[in-house]
Amino acid sequence: MTDVVVRKANISREYAQKMIDRALERANELQKNVSIAIVDDGGYLVAFNRMDAANPSSVKIAIDKAFTAATTRIATHKWFEIIESDAPLRAGAAIGVERLIVFGGGQPIMHEGACVGAIGVSGGHWTGDTDIGSAALGILEDA
């Protein structure tokens, strides 16, 4: 018999908040003001925080970084590498695929081999945003 329902795992609100808290710690260590978004595997917001001094534009960018990473299962910094050597994709992806972010700061959240969501960080240079997100992902190693 064919299954009617597909069961899947998503990041819990509790772990999403723990990731936000760890990302805020790392951002403070780096003296960066950022927005941090955690989304489920479909790109829908589970948890969010904007530091008081973070640029307002960082809100949408953080959410879109998380959306890109969750729905493609590819870290946003990897997208630049993917499109860099593919002229048609490079010409069309960034303008033709809504919400696609092709610079760092968005990373899938993997647990037991499955993508359960993603984190997006925005507010600094993409390398710092990626560092902050990686610190938050580190808490899953203990889960």
pTM: 0.90
The answer to whether residue 63 is domain-embedded is yes
Residue 48 identity (one-letter amino acid): F
The answer to whether residue 98 is domain-embedded is yes
Instruction: Give me the domain span that covers residue 68.
Output: 13-142
pLDDT of residue 93: 65
Q: What is the pLDDT of residues 22-49, one digit of tens each?
A: 999 999 999 999 999 999 999 999 999 9
Of the two residues 141 and 80, the one the predictor is more confident about is: 80
The answer to whether residue 5 is domain-embedded is no
**Domain count of the chain?**
1
Are 62 and 121 within 8 A, CB to CB? yes
The answer to whether residue 111 is domain-embedded is yes
Please say if the pLDDT value at position 11 is more than 80.
yes
The answer to whether residue 53 is domain-embedded is yes
The answer to whether residue 8 is domain-embedded is no
Are 121 and 34 within 8 A, CB to CB? yes
The answer to whether residue 60 is domain-embedded is yes
- CATH code at position 96: 3.30.450.150
The answer to whether residue 126 is domain-embedded is yes
pLDDT of residue 142: 63
Please say if the pLDDT value at position 110 is more than 70.
yes
